[in-house]
Every structure is written in structure tokens, then in C-alpha cells.
């Protein structure tokens, strides 16, 4: 081999490593740096004016300002080697355009689940080409049909025109990925606007004192710290940082025990919207409410709950405070939490019945001639009252004073005043009685028939094995439902991440809408959630817990992007496609 041949071989090997495809039919091509400049200009991205510089781009480079803007916005990631003067292919140019539109996550999902990507292209480019083919405003045809060719100046003009058109119009992309028990539907709308800054999500705490202690530790190490109050927890973050690289450096400097994650902070108005849903018949999906206690914890991330219970999918459920569910919760007919007023609920059973209605119920324990109203479920029993513990709360519970009674198979089998840890019967429940009621219950001999009686305000709920109360109800028999069921205007009238459950007459829809991210998805108000559910063809829809709790998991991957940057630990989740027994 001659020296010239050797140099030519090395040159083409280098191009192959960087993912560049050269077309023998195209002798005029723009460079990667040119592509960045064109995309930044077409989308009107705010130019970076700081001192940070991308690794392999000198400040004197003619495209340095646009490239550093892409770096500051996290379009180009730290550690990348960009090689700005290499000729760009159409596939590269289109991929960069999608990243600058805020569609990175969509590309990742297609790359993970699609089975028909172009094998001749790198997967991260092939994914965007597949997305482009099914958009309502598709990219120029040559970018889809001849993606490996070099990008010419004429191609660049057409790409810029397409980006400007996407900014002007409503752009929609939706894809369905089939599963074994249900299908995943992914939906994206519109071009996002970049965030104003970045923060690093460090950790979430159920108690404010623990969050403040963590914040003090981080401040002592030289970090600027934010504490964000959530509905039932406190999130600790460092920052904000104006440049993505600054946030990334802060994240890698933190101890790994924090699992730090870079997340957007702020941003201008945007109509970007992302939602995803697991859809299928109730019989195939077989939704199961899985308390964290069944897997050994008070609160666990959705991925742990869904994967640990052998599910194909999973989603967060209703409201909670710390590790305590708020609102009616029934697991295989066993009550876990008492009702929260007359808020709406969804119920279902293994026969395929689904019902949306009032979630209020009352519970009594009937022991001999004594009728005891249940004032507390799976928690500290108030004085002069009766409460009970059921198996979904855990196999053992710690109880203070009061008379403890085991009820197994419908009769009293054991009782004690002893304090400390007590087992919860798997074939019944643990009854705790305090005050004057203790004397009455001691009058009954063991083996006295004892049963739990449930009275529903909505009688149809009595036929459901699983009941989840949340609210408000969004759609009923195809019509928008009125009222916010006691939720504050800040939760109903503002855009937030949302979790919804719906029914279209044949299939259940378990849906998450991302929010609080101007680039990816700003979320929806409850009125917008009603319209979204109706547009999906649902006749019934119920709002579940939203905000940082909104999480969807499918086939080993977190599908949405939680607004906290991390999964929030949950006291329970709805697991889909699992046939594992509870015990």
C-alpha cells in the first residue's frame, strides 16, 4: 500500500468513527458548524454570551457563537467531540434540528422500542427519520429518503424553512408500540423553547428538616442550593446555572449517593406538549395496586414497584402524604385507606368491569352485638375509637396502647394489650380498640363472629376488587364533568404534569402528561386535560396525582421525564400486565 493510500484509508476510518457518510454524487456540502448556525438562526435560539468554550471549537471559529449556544442549552453534551469543519450529512443535520426543537427524549424512545429503523444509519439518526415520516409537518423529503447524502446549501435552506414552519404551526407526532398485555402510545406536539437555566436535582425528602440538613451539607461544600416544596415532600437542588456545562460539572462533583440529575429551570412561554399512555383491555392489562410494603419499603420508586412485581408497565396512582395514601384505596377487595370526602374514584375487577363514580365509603366492624365504626385504617388509632390494619400495610406493624385483636376467617382468634410490633393476619385483619370500647370488646369470648362491613355511597363500587380515589372526575359518559372536588385553583387552573386514567368503552388508558419544562412539555390545566382525554376518544377520565409524582414505566424504561428529574418514591403504584400473586 502506498503512503497516499494509507492516508486515504485512515481518513475514511476516522469519518466512519464519527458517523459521517460521504456521498460520491454530492461534491458541495455544508459543515457541521454551518448546520448549527442555520438551526440556531431558524429557531431563534438565544445566543450564549459567556466565556465557556466547547472542547474542540476555538473562540476564533466563525461558528463558535452558535456552537457554544448549542452547548449552553445542552444540545451538544459535555464530552462530545463535534469536529465543526467536517461535512454534514442530511441525517446529521436533521438529527441536530430535532435536538434543538427539544425532541431528544422522543428520539430515545423510538430508538429503544421501534423494530423497523434503517439499519444503514446510526440508530440515533434513524430514530429521528422515523419520527419525521409520521409528523403532521414532515421534514423535506430528501432528508428522509436520502439521509446518507451530504447536506448541500440548498438542503440547508429547505431545513431552515421547515423549522420556521414548525414554529408557526401546530406540529403533532404520535406513535404506538405494541406490547404483550398493552400498547404504549407516545404523543408529542410543537417546538419547545429552551430553559432559562439549569439546576441539579439532588434528593427528595419527606421531611423538611432532612432537606434542610442536606442543603447545609451542600452549602458547606461550596454549592448554591435551592429547596423546592412539593405537595408532600421537599426537593433539594443545586444551582441555578446559566450553562449546561456548569450544571453538568456540579452534578459529577456530587457524591453518587445523591444520584444527581441535571434538569431545566425556568424558560419562556411554550406550547410544547408530551404525553404517553399504556392502553389495553382491562382483562389483558390486569391492573394491580401494589403497595410498597409488599416489596419491603414504605415508599419506593415506580420502576422498583413495577419491575419488582413482574409488570410490563406501571404508573403512579392517587394522592398521598409521606407514606400514607389519601383517599379510598382497595386492593383485591381489602381496604387500605379511608375515603377522602366525596371525591371521585375509579374501580375495576378481574372480570373486566370498569366503573367511575363517587369514591366515598364507610366501614364498621361487627363483633357479636357490638358495631364499631372504623375511624382509622393502617395508622395510629385516635383515642376512644377503633381502627384496623390490613395486610397491604405490611406483615408487621408497631402499635402503642389499646386492645389488639386478631380477626381471622371471620372470628376473633387472639387479643392482647401488649405494645410493640404485632403481626397482621393474612386471612383477616388486626383490630385495635382504645378507650371505653376496650371493656366492651373484652366481654366477647374468642371465636366470636367478627366481620368488616363496607357501605359505599356509589353501590357499583361494591362490585370492584380494586378502587382508587383521587379526583376530580374529568369526563363522564363522554361529557365534561364540573367541579374541582376541593382542589385548590393553583392545582386546577395552572399547567402541571398530570396523571390520568380513562376508559373508551373497550380499553383502559393509563396516561401521564409531562410538564414544567418549556422545551419538552409545559403540562396541562384540568380543562386542557379534559379536552386531551376527549380527543383521545375517552368517555370517562379521572385525574390522579400529578406534579413530580407523574411517572410512567414500560418494559424496563421510564417513558416520561419527571419534573423533579428523578422518580419520586411512592407508597403504592398501579402495575400493569403482572400475574404475580400478592403473597
CATH topology of domain 361-456: Jelly Rolls (2.60.120)
In the chain, where are the structural domains located? Answer: 3-169, 197-265, 273-334+462-576, 361-456
- Among 36, 263, 63, 64, which residue's Cα sits nearest to residue 151? 36
Instruction: Give counts: helices (H), strands (E), the chain.
Output: 15, 33
Look at residue 206 and give its three-state secondary structure: coil
197-265 CATH choice from 3.30.70.1070, 3.40.630.30, 3.30.565.10, 3.40.50.720: 3.30.70.1070
Per-residue pLDDT of the chain (583 residues; tens, 9 = 90+): 444 443 333 333 333 334 443 333 345 899 999 999 999 999 999 999 887 776 678 888 999 999 999 999 999 998 777 889 999 999 999 999 999 999 999 999 999 999 999 999 999 999 999 999 999 999 999 999 999 999 999 999 999 999 999 999 999 999 999 999 999 999 999 999 999 999 999 988 888 999 999 999 999 999 999 999 876 788 999 999 999 999 999 999 998 888 899 999 988 889 999 999 999 999 999 999 999 999 999 999 999 999 999 999 999 999 999 899 999 999 999 999 999 999 999 999 999 999 999 999 999 999 988 999 999 999 999 999 999 999 988 889 999 999 999 999 999 999 999 999 999 999 999 999 999 999 999 999 999 999 999 999 999 999 999 999 999 999 999 999 988 999 999 889 999 999 999 999 999 999 999 999 999 999 999 999 999 999 999 999 999 999 999 999 999 999 999 999 989 999 999 999 998 876 5
Where are the extended beta strands (E) located within 206-310?
Answer: 225-229, 234-241, 261-265, 273-280, 288-291
Look at residue 539 and give its three-state secondary structure: coil
Given a contact cutoff of 8 angstroms between Cβ atoms, the answer to whether 324 and 377 are in contact is no
| Model pTM score | 0.92
Distance CA 94, CA 74 (A): 17
Distance CA 578, CA 309 (A): 7
Region of 224 please: left (phi>0), alpha (psi -120 to 50) or beta: beta
Quote the crossing angle between the two packed helices 64-72 and 32-43, to the nearest 10°. Answer: 70
Whether the bond into 559 is cis, omega within 30 of 0? no
Distance CA 297, CA 294 (A): 7
Report residue 88: phi and psi, to 5°: -100, 140
Amino acid at each position: 500500500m502506498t503512503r497516499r493510500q494509507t492516508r486515504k484509508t485512515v481518513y475514511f476510518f476516522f469519518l466512519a468513527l464519527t458517523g459521517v457518510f460521504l456521498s460520491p454524487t454530492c461534491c458541495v456540502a455544508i459543515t457541521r458548524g454551518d448546520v448549527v448556525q442555520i438551526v440556531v438562526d431558524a429557531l431563534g435560539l438565544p445566543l450564549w454570551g459567556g466565556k465557556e468554550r466547547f472542547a474542540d471549537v476555538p473562540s476564533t471559529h466563525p461558528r463558535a457563537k452558535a456552537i457554544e449556544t448549542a452547548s449552553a442549552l445542552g444540545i451538544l453534551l459535555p464530552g462530545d467531540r463535534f469536529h465543526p469543519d467536517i461535512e454534514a450529512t442530511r441525517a446529521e443535520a436533521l438529527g441536530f434540528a430535532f435536538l434543538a426543537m427539544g425532541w431528544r427524549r422522543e428520539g430515545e424512545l423510538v430508538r429503544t422500542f421501534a423494530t423497523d429503523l434503517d439499519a444503514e444509519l446510526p440508530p440515533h439518526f434513524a430514530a429521528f427519520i422515523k419520527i419525521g415520516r409520521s409528523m403532521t409537518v414532515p421534514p423535506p423529503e430528501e432528508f428522509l429518503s436520502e439521509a446518507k447524502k451530504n447536506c448541500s446549501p440548498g438542503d440547508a435552506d429547505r431545513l431552515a424553512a421547515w423549522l420556521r414552519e414548525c414554529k408557526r404551526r401546530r406540529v403533532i407526532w404520535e406513535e404506538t408500540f405494541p406490547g404483550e398485555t398493552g400498547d404504549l402510545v407516545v404523543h408529542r406536539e410543537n417546538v419547545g423553547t429552551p430553559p432559562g437555566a439549569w439546576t441539579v436535582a439532588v434528593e427528595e425528602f419527606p421531611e423538611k428538616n432532612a432537606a434542610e440538613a442536606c442543603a447545609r451539607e451542600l452549602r458547606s461544600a461550596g454549592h448554591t442550593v435551592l429547596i423546592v416544596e412539593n405537595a408532600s415532600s421537599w426537593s433539594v437542588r443545586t444551582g441555578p446555572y446559566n450553562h449546561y456545562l456548569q450544571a453538568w460539572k456540579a452534578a459529577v462533583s456530587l457524591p453518587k449517593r445523591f444520584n444527581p440529575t441535571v434538569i431545566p429551570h425556568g424558560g419562556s412561554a411554550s406550547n410544547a406538549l408530551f404525553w404517553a399512555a399504556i392502553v389495553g383491555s382491562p382483562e389483558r392489562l390486569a391492573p394491580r395496586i401494589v403497595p410498597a410494603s409488599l416489596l419491603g419499603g414504605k415508599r419506593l420508586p415506580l420502576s422498583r414497584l413495577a419491575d419488582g412485581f413482574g409488570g410490563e408497565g406501571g404508573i403512579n396512582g392517587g394522592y398521598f402524604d409521606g407514606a400514607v395514601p389519601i383517599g379510598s384505596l382497595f386492593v383485591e377487595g381489602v381496604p387500605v385507606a379511608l375515603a377522602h370526602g366525596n371525591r371521585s374514584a375509579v374501580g375495576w375487577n378481574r372480570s373486566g368491569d370498569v366503573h367511575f363514580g363517587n369514591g366515598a365509603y364507610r366501614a364498621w366492624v361487627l363483633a357479636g352485638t357490638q358495631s364499631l365504626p372504623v375511624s382509622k385504617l393502617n395508622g395510629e388509632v385516635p383515642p376512644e375509637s377503633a381502627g384496623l390494619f390490613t395486610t397491604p400495610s405490611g406483615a408487621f406493624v408497631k402499635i402503642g396502647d389499646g386492645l389488639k385483636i386478631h380477626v381471622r376467617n371471620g372470628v376473633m382468634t387472639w387479643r392482647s394489650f401488649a405494645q410493640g410490633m404485632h403481626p397482621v393476619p393474612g386471612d383477616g385483619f388486626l383490630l385495635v380498640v382504645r378507650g371505653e370500647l376496650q371493656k366492651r370488646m373484652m366481654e366477647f369470648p374468642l371465636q366470636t363472629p367478627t366481620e368488616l362491613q363496607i357501605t359505599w355511597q356509589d353501590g357499583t363500587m361494591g362490585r370492584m376488587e380494586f378502587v382508587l380515589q383521587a379526583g376530580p372526575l374529568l369526563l363522564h359518559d363522554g361529557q365534561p364533568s364540573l367541579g374541582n372536588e376541593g382542589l385548590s385553583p393553583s392545582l386546577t387552573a395552572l399547567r402541571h404534569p398530570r396523571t390520568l386514567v380513562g376508559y373508551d368503552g373497550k380499553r383502559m388508558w393509563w396516561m401521564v402528561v409531562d410538564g414544567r419544562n418549556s422545551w419538552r412539555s409545559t403540562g396541562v390545566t384540568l380543562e386542557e386535560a379534559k379536552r386531551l382525554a376527549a380527543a383521545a376518544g375517552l368517555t370517562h377520565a379521572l385525574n390522579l396525582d400529578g406534579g413530580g409524582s407523574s411517572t410512567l414505566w414500560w418494559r424496563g424504561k421510564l417513558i416520561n421525564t419527571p419534573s423533579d428529574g428523578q422518580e419520586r418514591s411512592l407508597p403504592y403504584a398501579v402495575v400493569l400486565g403482572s400475574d404475580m400473586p400478592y403473597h
